[in-house]
Amino acid sequence: MKYFSLPELHRTSQPEFQGNVLNVPLGQERKNLVTLVECVLDPLRERWGSPIIVTSGYRCPLLNRKVGGVPTSYHMKGQAADIRAKNLRNGDLYALIKRMYMEGKFGITECYIDERRGYIHIAFDAAENSVWLFIENS
């Protein structure tokens, strides 16, 4: 984990939940976060060349419900992060993610940009037998 730390991948950016929900990944969720960083986020940050901000990473089931996440969210497994470019060039960062996938650098389970909320959702499941990609620009 070169560019990201575990604490930044399990804190919430929503102030109303900070300190009110114990949101600490254990066991497999923690391992999944490390895999997400090593296989997707660090290579992406390396290629991007400037900081990437994690706005949401791991979410325990309670936090996931409180923020309106879907019941099957990859966030609860430690396999997803919502990110944004520090310089707010999310469209360019999103395009880089698509290019990196096309070049076969990594396989992504889900990826979409939410321009209304200003983040890119990216999920990775290393256990998938066949890697597939879902990219949607909302």
Asked whether the predicted pLDDT for residue 124 surpasses 70, the reply is yes
Asked whether the predicted pLDDT for residue 46 surpasses 70, the reply is yes
Asked whether the predicted pLDDT for residue 24 surpasses 80, the reply is yes
Asked whether the predicted pLDDT for residue 137 surpasses 60, the reply is no
Q: Average pLDDT of the chain?
A: 84
Asked whether the predicted pLDDT for residue 108 surpasses 80, the reply is no
Asked whether the predicted pLDDT for residue 14 surpasses 70, the reply is no
How many helices (H) and strands (E) the chain has is answered by 4, 5
Residue 105 has a pLDDT of 56
Report CA-CA distances (Å) from 6 to 2, 68, 105, 136. 11, 23, 23, 27
Residue 92 has a pLDDT of 93
pTM confidence score? 0.85
Residue 131 has a pLDDT of 42
Tens digits of per-residue pLDDT, 52-79? Answer: 999 999 999 999 998 889 999 999 999 9
- 32-41, 97-106, 118-127 — most confident range: 32-41
- Is the separation of the CB atoms in 120 and 83 below 8 Å? yes
